[in-house]
Chains A and B, each alone.
Chain A
Amino acid sequence: MNLRDKLKAIERPKVKATPVDPPPVQQFTDCWHGYEHYPLRDFPGALDVQRETVMLMQGEDMPLCLDPRRILYLDTETTGLMGGAGTVAFEVGLGWLTDEGFHVHQLIMRDYPEEKFLLQTIVDTAANFDVICTFNGKTFDLPLLRNRFIMNRIRTDCLEKPHIDLLHIARRVWKLRLRKCNLTNLEEALLGIPRVNDLPGAMVPERFFNYLKSGDFSQFDDVLEHNAQDIASLCVLLSHMCRMYEHPDQLRFDEDVYSMGVALDRFKHTEEARRCYRLAGGSMHAQGQQRLAVSYRRGGDRAEAAKIWLGMIRRREGGVMPYVELAKYYEHTEKDASAALDMVRQAISVMSEPSLFDDASVQETRNALQYRYERLKRKLGQDEKT
């Protein structure tokens, strides 16, 4: 057996390899370029994106003067979803706003030798922009492009710009309600636009390999369409999200406004966060109030926090928690052990209501209350003695 036959014997390939046609392109002088243009009316408010609003949405610093026309929207289509040095971005879409409308510039490498032209186009284009905006680009697109730049011995500086990753923002605000925050879900839920005949992401890699085998450029048709839609969506979503951050009172869902409060809190926008917590009603009211109280307590305004907890007790919200919080407040801030003890008593009586869902944590809370109760009793006893 020669080496070739041995290889065949031990491999037992799963699919029979089809004979490969000669590469569709023989001379490699540039990658494929495509251009799309969308009218400005499809991007309401896109030119009004403000630095201050973007800063509310995430922790990363933005250029002092953020010009919405200097944001580069970027999305890649790749040969594999697992990453690693052998995964290639065979298609890259770049989009940006001008006063006339939204431009999408799409690049395809029709074979591996065209990759360097594709990457060079990214370098040249990115030089004109201050900020990059992606959907999950922080963990996927940009690391992958960095790999490709390194493999082609091109400096990666062009990618090192302030970055707005809409996935991270979306997760913080909409995950509670939508659970899945993929682009399609967000488009439907926030913009009310369904995707029709969209190419599933898992099928993208095989389009490239099919093209390599067949030379049939139509393999890329729906890849390009899918990618252009993604890019345009990024721009629409960014301005939409900005508007929501500017007007949380217009949010229709209590989960969203509450989550936005938590997100704002995370980046220390305390006043804006409290505003959202106050707006959170319905099923989120109790949680909103609790967050609001904690926010005041953390800010040193314990009296305001106490007022909120009292309100919660009045409305029978939050179970045993506001009682415990108030007990702490009376004991440590007001130095009123008997008021604290009274709160603990009420808490114990609330806890004693039978519940179907008693588990270990309930018992733990009971124990903690009992402990607090006894400690306060001792404290009161000592106070009386002295």
Chain B
Amino acid sequence: MNVDQLAEQLRSDPLFMKNVVRWDIIPARQAQYADFPEGLDERLRPVLAKRGVHQLYSHQAHAVREVLAGQDVVVVTPTASGKTMCYNLPVLSSILANEDARALYLFPTKALSADQVSELYELIEEMGVDIKTFTYDGDTPGAARRAVRQAGHIVVTNPDMLHSGILPHHTKWVKLFENLKYIVIDEIHTYRGVFGSNLANVLRRLLRLCDFYGSRPQFILCSATIANPKELAEALTGRSVHMVDDNGAPMGARHFVFYNPPVINKQLGIRKGVIPEARNITSMLLKNGIQTITFARSRLTVEVLTKYLKDLVRDPLGNAGRVRGYRGGYLPTERREIERGLRAGQIDAVVSTNALELGIDIGALDACVLCGYPGTIASAWQQAGRAGRRKGTSIVFFVASSAAIDQYIVSHPDYFLHQSPENALLNPDNLYILLSHFKCAAFELPFEDGDRFGNAPGTDELLAYLDDAGILRHVDGRYHWSAEDFPATQISLRSAAAEENFLIIDISDPQKHRVIGEMDRFTVPMLLHENAIYMHEAQQYQVEKLDFDACKAFIRRVDVGYYTDANLNVSLSLLDIEREDERAGVHRGLGEVRVSTLVTMFKKIKFDTHENLGFGHVRLPETDMHTTAMWWTLPDALAAQYDSDTLKNGMLGVTNLLRIVAPLSLMCAPQDVAVLYQVKSPITDKPTIILYDNCPGGVGLAHKAYGMQALLLDQALQVVQDCTCPFGCPSCAGPIGEISMTGKKTALELLQALTRD
């Protein structure tokens, strides 16, 4: 059955349709073409013609024209719109015209770079010219590195390698830096938060070195659809950037189905689970031979779904292999194999975390199932974009979970379909990040008195501080690196703290211990604590030993009927108050805090029924984070109206409501912002609700929330007022089991009091 037939059949199935909240069809879009811009090297056109490209899409021509005119450009287009041409054409053209010219390509992951190089190779090979394109990353063999440094016209790498492998050794890359004409950065929407703030500083360092070597490269950036691509591009590069967003690529028709699982307990507002529902829809697609990608929110869900689906198609012929899981933590070779299988059509269904959201080439699939809202509108569109070919119909199912944000989206489909997606926020001047990169920059090239570091503020103070600390030496008008260390190795771009990943080692076979994956230090306490059940490719393992110092987790294959879920404890202390105000008795503050997190226990949860089977203790060190927070303090008179339990449950209700509305108003991912309450806060000594940036140093979310005055509280009040449940449900103040019978009422009263003028 093809997608059109399946859609027809589903629409005439009342059992299915009663859960469908909305069924939109986005009509097919015709291609918009434009002529080749003047000034492209004439050797390019015949090669493109051979590949069937006789005209450019309008956005491609627009981008190429602007680049050739010397502009820094950001191209904003959806998945599969041929954006690579926007940079490959001007880059190849300039190298054809001047064989000394160089270009640097940055992709967020190694997998993406590998894809890109193969595509470039094809173009170059067909032209029969000598343009050397090399990937330079951790996998590049030592012997090949010298050739890349000397002769690579196009060097393809990732921000991490640029940061620790190229910039600190810039003297070995003289040819590149002296002749650097273009810096291409793809998928810039992934550079938000800490990663983006780091990259912006890496680029400040890069441009500083280009300046030393006398080059002034142009930027060509590409982004998926977000609300502020131009602002993001400008924050990353520190330059004013021309935006190209007139997408001219064709697209087949697309069905968009909003599916809300039926309510099974009206009293508690509990719906049928999102995982079984997503499983059913994926199974149906699988049975009809429609190639499908299912996105799940967590690694755990990926494993659970993969196991269900594998069991469904398992037969003696090895058909279980037609269903694969895909997520971070699988080894690169395994991932490449899955990607190849998808392109070749040997894999019918893949269940993935957002790892496959990026432009990794897996071809276009017919159907996409979102098992729960991925957290941001931009992500949801990226994931949905995995289904959809230039010709032919595709179908996307959004299956809502009981989570409040999912329920909000499914009951306001227009919000999703028409609202502009999120802002990508970053804060290049986050002091933690800035300070680290100042060290790297000084290592790479001494600062002279009066030098600036991009548009970073406080250069003089930072340099003076590092001089005092004995890390730099100020002499004769210059700041020289004056320490034995190699500062770049102390920073990881992807987390604010520089920490090593943990290796996950399978010790089931005593003869042969096997590394099956790795995990970052912050996730380890949650998923790899001792006795945790860890899942990999739907196989269960139990963590036998976690060696925190050696960064190793030893796991053994098991087969048990439950999985584990760790509890995270958070405590908080104030470092510095930046701003405070008081309005109608409500005190608000903004400042810097230290957040300490600790995993102390975990629950064992039975598959299928999700019953709690018991718990265990976890003994692991606390992790500290220094970040920005804002808080509301309850007036004494208000707090005095309640006994302590009632107050606690009410504050928990408010916290839950803020967790729902904050990501929507701040336009960030739910995990980027944290909300918690303290009955007697160490900050204010009073009952306080705190919202903080969930990354070291912060990326500006708490600042943004502080600036919104009472807006967040107003919205939280709106949600709780509009909800029809009697005593609280997961879509508003929280389930009764969590906030008790009084929680919703108290939360409503607290919010009313806090927002009263």
Interface residues, chain A, CB within 8 Å of chain B?
1, 3-4, 6-11, 13, 17-18, 20, 23, 28, 79-86, 88, 111-113, 143, 146-147, 150-151, 205-206, 209, 212-213
Contacts and interface: CB of A to CB of B under 8 A. Distances in A.
Across the A-B interface, give the 6 residue pairs with the lowest CB-CB distance, nearest first.
A86-B443, A86-B481, A147-B171, A17-B470, A112-B480, A84-B168
B475 A11 contact: no
A6 B445 CA distance: 25
A4 B171 contact: no
Given A4-B461, A20-B470, A111-B475, A150 B174 contact: yes
B442 interface: yes
A84 B443 contact: yes
Interface stretch (B483-491, B652-660, B738-746): B483-491
Interface in B458-505: 458, 461-462, 464-465, 468-470, 473, 475-476, 478, 480-488
7 contacts: A3-B465, A4-B464, A6-B576, A81-B484, A84-B443, A85-B171, A86-B443
A17 B465 CA distance: 11
Nearest to A206: B484
B575 interface: yes
A4 B462 CA distance: 8
Contacts of A88: 480
Contact of B431 (A6, A79, A146): A6
B444 A85 contact: yes
B442 A86 contact: yes
B431 A209 contact: no
A212 B473 contact: yes
B579 interface: no
Contacts of B464: 4
A215 to B, nearest CB: 13
Given A85-B444, A86-B486, 8 more contacts: A3-B431, A9-B576, A11-B469, A17-B470, A84-B488, A85-B170, A85-B443, A86-B168
Contact of A209 (B171, B465, B483): B483
Contact of A143 (B172, B431, B481): B172
Contact of A1 (B446, B486, B488, B576): B576
Contact of A212 (B461, B462, B469, B482): B482
B202 to A, nearest CB: 15
Contacts of B626: 9-10
Given A3-B458, A111-B475, A151 B171 contact: yes
A4 B478 contact: no
Contacts of B442: 86
Contacts of B462: 3, 7
A209 B484 contact: yes
B408 interface: no
A3 B446 CA distance: 22
B711 interface: no
B591 to A, nearest CB: 9
A86 B478 contact: no
A18 to B, nearest CB: 7
B511 to A, nearest CB: 13
B167 to A, nearest CB: 8
A88 B171 CA distance: 13
A85 B174 contact: no
A218 B592 CA distance: 47
B360 to A, nearest CB: 32
Nearest to A17: B470
A163 to B, nearest CB: 16
Which of A8, A81, A85, A150 has the largest number of chain B CB atoms within 10 A? A85
B475 A112 contact: yes
B512 to A, nearest CB: 14
A86 B444 contact: yes
B169 interface: yes
A205 B171 contact: no
B500 to A, nearest CB: 17
B432 interface: yes
Contact of B485 (A18, A80, A213): A80
B445 A85 contact: yes
B47 interface: no
Interface in B591-639: 592, 626
Nearest to A81: B484
A119 to B, nearest CB: 13
A88 B444 CA distance: 11
B435 interface: yes
A151 B169 CA distance: 11
A10 B464 CA distance: 16
A85 B476 contact: no
A80 B484 contact: yes
Given A86-B168, A146-B171, A206-B484, A28 B461 contact: no
Contacts of B473: 20, 111-112, 212
Nearest to A146: B171
Contacts of A83: 169, 486
Contacts of B465: 3-4, 7-8
B470 A205 contact: no
Contact of A205 (B172, B476, B484, B575): B484
B698 to A, nearest CB: 12
A279 B537 CA distance: 59
Which of B444, B465, B475, B576 has the largest number of chain A CB atoms within 10 A? B475
A10 B168 contact: no
Contacts of A143: 172
Nearest to A202: B484
Contacts of A213: 470
A81 B169 CA distance: 14
Contact of B169 (A85, A112, A212): A85
A11 B490 CA distance: 13
A164 to B, nearest CB: 21
A86 B592 CA distance: 33
A380 to B, nearest CB: 43
A22 to B, nearest CB: 10
A151 B470 contact: no
A84 B486 contact: yes
A150 B476 CA distance: 20
B147 to A, nearest CB: 16
Contact of A82 (B435, B476, B486, B592): B486
Nearest to B577: A1
B476 A113 contact: yes
Which of B172, B442, B464, B575 has the largest number of chain A CB atoms within 10 A? B172
A28 B476 CA distance: 9
A206 B592 CA distance: 36
Contacts of B483: 80, 209
Contacts of B485: 80
Contacts of B461: 3-4, 7
Interface string B398-440: 0000000000000000000000000000000001100100000
A11 B480 contact: no
Contacts of A206: 484
A86 B481 CA distance: 6
A290 to B, nearest CB: 29
Contacts of A79: 482, 484
Nearest to B489: A82
Contacts of B170: 85
A212 B461 CA distance: 22
A111 B478 CA distance: 12
Contacts of A13: 469
A17 B172 CA distance: 33
Interface string B535-558: 000000000000000000000000
Contacts of A7: 431, 435, 461-462, 465
A140 B458 CA distance: 37
A62 to B, nearest CB: 23
B163 to A, nearest CB: 12
Interface string B169-190: 1111010000000000000000
Nearest to B168: A84
Nearest to B479: A112
Contacts of A80: 483-486
Nearest to B441: A86
Nearest to A113: B476
